[in-house]
Chain A
Amino acid sequence: MGLAWSLFNPILMLAVYTFVFSVVFKARWGATVAGGDESKAQFAMVLFVGLIVHGLFAEVLNRAPTLVLNNANYVKKVVFPLEILPVVSLGAALFHCLASLVVLLVAFAIFNGHLQLTAIFIPAVILPLLVLTLGIAWMLASLGTYLRDVGQTIGLVTTILMFLAPVFYPIAALPDEFRPFIMANPLTFVIEQIRAVVIWGNLPDWEGLGVYTMAAVGVGWAGYAWFQKTRKGFADVI
């Protein structure tokens, strides 16, 4: 099967989430694509955007703390560019993410009969997230090597981040006093922007994207610097 799983997985997940949230919970998003009723498929697609973004982020981060530990040979026996390990893992996650995006776009086209033109801005919205994810992955890869407990807790952290992002509910559903917390989640902005360009057909929030990109580059650079500074000790603790 191999590569087929990359497509089959998101399709199956999309079907399951549609069933659970639309049929069982009878949840509604409360917003519709211009000129249409909010269908069950519609809700599932909105949900799916959140899952895709979170999936990319979580897949890289969950693996990061054990990346160096699992490649002890490359640390102890050869001089290896260890900093590419998180990059490779990001590449794998990005591939899964792209497969899911294709499924999403195909589903959107089937149910709405057209694609939003603004979908061409997906790369511009995703790119800052990649930089941010990579920076955090470098940091976690280094920390996880020194502190094995990081590997145990990271799964919990990424799950919490999923529920504290507008994945299963719109931001509007939250009371005002909780809004700042959810906006602090790095996933929130990206999820909202992808929804804007893919589903609602709006242009990205360029100003917000600019700020987000600068912050992401800062984190990415800090993560890389931290990784390179601490890698000297890897061979001592593995």
Chain B
Amino acid sequence: MSSSDTPLVATLVKPEEAADSNEDAVAIRVRSLRKGYQIYDAPRDRLKQFLWPRLQRLLGQTPKQYYREFLALKDISLEIKRGETVGIIGRNGSGKSTLLQVICGTLHPNSGDVLVNGRVAALLELGSGFNPEFTGRENVYMNAGILGLTQEQTAARFADIESFADIGDFIDQPVKTYSSGMSVRLAFAVIAHVDADILVIDEALAVGDAFFTQKCMRFLRTFMKTGTVLFVSHDTASVRSLCSRAIWLEKAELLREGSPDDVCNLYLEAFYEAQQGRHTTTKMRTASLQDPTKPWKDQRLEFLNLSNLRNDLQVFSFDTDAASFGKGGARIVSVAFLDKENAPLTWVVGGEQITLQIRALALEYLTAPIVGFFVKDRLGQTLFGDNTFLNTREQPKVCEEGMSLDAEFTFQMPILPAGDYSVSVAIANGTENDHVQHHWIHDAMFFKSQSSSVVTGLVGIPMRHIELRVVERSA
């Protein structure tokens, strides 16, 4: 089909702008963007709006408005530098997709301006700009042409695109016969091979299977080294692990912007707030109730001479000022790692058995309290966690106002790769699926892994036995 080699999507840098080095570092700049949709109650209102206001203006009357305006974006300003990976989170209908479409140029804003430096390749919604009647092959040429590749360039890359998409003989079938997964694979394969400067991806990765998602992630991580990525997702875990910055859109407005970890935490709070109604986001400050009579014990001493690769984990004590939220029916007052003698630990050794103790104070009558925790790594990825729900399911521990609750989790600490870790803790009332969060503390306690024997993976598990044997030839 089209062999057009004009980069239609690309808004190329104008010479006078390129001269300014500051300007050059900007990949996307959006200034006071506003986009509204006209909502009509009936189709005939659309026609009335088309005719009457003009007529009324001609007659000198004030024109009547036949629609309600739905604002998808109001006054959004943001700037994305070259090489940044920015994640956009927000609930359905918060304006994420509209923002991406405006940036890509498929939607036109009511006011405000968009500056895009470089060639944009976008994967908006599913299947992207495929013509369902054409075969996969024809669509690849068509799409690559739209993105600015000549027919020869596409032909040279076709084998790569085909193997990336990996959809077999379907490449010569019309796209309308594809499953949703197949069309996303093909669409992603195309945008991965058009030498884009900016990738815009709208929740497309949720459709592919695990193998393909991994392939896309590998591609994205390589691409991120040189290119700019704008990424929409509901999955805060992937925003935390991929992005260098996160943006939270809520009801058409840019609510927060900052490190992915902070923004995702706030987003999660808002999620619970919406579920539970009343909200008391207070940073609860409490005196630590840690028992001073018990000595802090350095567990590392016992292993001092055993190995130089011992997994030392330095524990920082419970952060009473950590960001928290919840309905306030209970309050977590202390979090600590304990050894077998119930002594608080400042050092933990990976692979050893320890106890995580969470102490909470009930501020109201709790019918079925649940205490839980999870451990996150530096990128905010949840490594492991647990809660008391299953153990107390049959007979919930009823807790009167003013009483204290102690939750203890005894487990073997996994061996952790060097880096910073945090423990988030929470107390809720109800069941695992239907509960009210009373107090949730992000990153209540930090600990640091100094050195590690973990070869690969998020966590290491103690190997019971490793052996390398030379097997004699059988002949």
Binding site for B on A (CB under 8 A): 71, 73-81, 84, 146-148, 232-233, 235-236
Q: A81-B4, A146-B50, A147-B47 are in contact. Are A76 and B130 (CB under 8 A)?
A: no
A187 to B254, CA, bound (A): 56
A76 to B101, CA, bound (A): 8
Q: A79-B8, A147-B47, A236-B38 are in contact. Are A74 and B107 (CB under 8 A)?
A: no
Q: Contacting A236 at CB < 8 Å: which of B4, B37, B43? A: B37
Closest CB pairs A-B (n = 4): A78-B129, A232-B108, A77-B129, A79-B105
Residue in chain A with minimal CB distance to B124: A77
22 cross-chain CB contacts under 8 A: A73-B127, A73-B130, A73-B131, A76-B125, A77-B106, A77-B122, A77-B124, A77-B127, A77-B128, A78-B9, A78-B128, A80-B8, A80-B146, A81-B8, A146-B50, A147-B46, A232-B108, A233-B108, A235-B101, A235-B106, A235-B108, A236-B38
Residue in chain A with minimal CB distance to B4: A81
Let me know if B107 and A78 touch, CB within 8 A: no
Q: Min CB distance, A95 to chain B, in Å?
A: 16
Residue in chain B with minimal CB distance to A149: B47
Let me know if A80 and B129 touch, CB within 8 A: yes
B324 at the A/B interface (Cβ < 8 Å)? no
A147 to B43, CA, bound (A): 9
Let me know if B131 and A79 touch, CB within 8 A: no
Let me know if A78 and B122 touch, CB within 8 A: yes
Highest count of chain B CB atoms <10 Å: which of A75, A77, A232 = A77
A80 to B50, CA, bound (A): 26
A53 to B2, CA, bound (A): 28
Let me know if A71 and B9 touch, CB within 8 A: no
6 further contact pairs, Cβ within 8 A, besides A76-B124, A76-B125, A77-B129: A71-B131, A77-B122, A77-B127, A79-B104, A147-B46, A148-B43
Bitwise, B101-113 to A at CB < 8 A (1) or not (0) is 1001111100000
Q: Min CB distance, B189 to chain A, in Å?
A: 15
Chain B residues closer than 8 Å to A233, beta-carbon distance: 108
Q: Contacting B129 at CB < 8 Å: which of A74, A81, A147, A148? A: A74
Q: Min CB distance, B145 to chain A, in Å?
A: 10
Residue in chain B with minimal CB distance to A236: B37
Interface residues on B, range: 20 to 34
Residue in chain B with minimal CB distance to A232: B108
Highest count of chain A CB atoms <10 Å: which of B38, B43, B107 = B107
Highest count of chain A CB atoms <10 Å: which of B104, B122, B129, B146 = B129
Q: Contacting A79 at CB < 8 Å: which of B43, B50, B146? A: B146
A74 to B452, CA, bound (A): 52
Q: A147-B47, A235-B108, A236-B38 are in contact. Are A77 and B125 (CB under 8 A)?
A: yes
Chain B residues closer than 8 Å to A74, beta-carbon distance: 129, 131
Q: A71-B131, A73-B129, A235-B101 are in contact. Are A78 and B106 (CB under 8 A)?
A: yes
Let me know if A79 and B107 touch, CB within 8 A: no
A236 to B127, CA, bound (A): 19
Highest count of chain B CB atoms <10 Å: which of A73, A74, A148 = A73
Chain B residues closer than 8 Å to A81, beta-carbon distance: 4, 8
Q: Min CB distance, B36 to chain A, in Å?
A: 9
Q: Min CB distance, A75 to chain B, in Å?
A: 7
Q: Min CB distance, B333 to chain A, in Å?
A: 53
B334 at the A/B interface (Cβ < 8 Å)? no
Chain A residues closer than 8 Å to B143, beta-carbon distance: 78
Let me know if A76 and B106 touch, CB within 8 A: yes
Let me know if B107 and A236 touch, CB within 8 A: yes
A235 to B72, CA, bound (A): 14
A75 to B128, CA, bound (A): 11
Chain A residues closer than 8 Å to B127, beta-carbon distance: 73, 77
Residue in chain A with minimal CB distance to B108: A232
Bitwise, B138-150 to A at CB < 8 A (1) or not (0) is 0000010011000
Residue in chain B with minimal CB distance to A73: B129
Q: Min CB distance, B308 to chain A, in Å?
A: 57
A148 to B132, CA, bound (A): 22
From residue 1 to 53 of chain B, which have CB atoms closer than 8 A to chain A? 2, 4, 8-9, 37-38, 43, 46-47, 50
Let me know if B9 and A79 touch, CB within 8 A: yes
From residue 38 to 83 of chain B, which have CB atoms closer than 8 A to chain A? 38, 43, 46-47, 50
A46 to B226, CA, bound (A): 67
A119 to B180, CA, bound (A): 53
Chain A residues closer than 8 Å to B9, beta-carbon distance: 78-79
Chain A residues closer than 8 Å to B105, beta-carbon distance: 79
Chain A residues closer than 8 Å to B132, beta-carbon distance: 73
Bitwise, B295-312 to A at CB < 8 A (1) or not (0) is 000000000000000000
Q: Min CB distance, B438 to chain A, in Å?
A: 44
Residue in chain A with minimal CB distance to B8: A79
A79 to B124, CA, bound (A): 11
Chain A residues closer than 8 Å to B124, beta-carbon distance: 76-77
Chain B residues closer than 8 Å to A232, beta-carbon distance: 108
Q: Min CB distance, B66 to chain A, in Å?
A: 14
Chain B residues closer than 8 Å to A80, beta-carbon distance: 8, 129, 146
A59 to B2, CA, bound (A): 23
Chain A residues closer than 8 Å to B104, beta-carbon distance: 79
Residue in chain B with minimal CB distance to A80: B146
From residue 81 to 103 of chain B, which have CB atoms closer than 8 A to chain A? 101
Chain A residues closer than 8 Å to B50, beta-carbon distance: 146-147
Let me know if B4 and A79 touch, CB within 8 A: no
A147 to B107, CA, bound (A): 19
A78 to B8, CA, bound (A): 9
Residue in chain A with minimal CB distance to B7: A79
A145 to B146, CA, bound (A): 22
A13 to B9, CA, bound (A): 45
Q: A71-B131, A78-B129, A80-B129 are in contact. Are A235 and B107 (CB under 8 A)?
A: yes
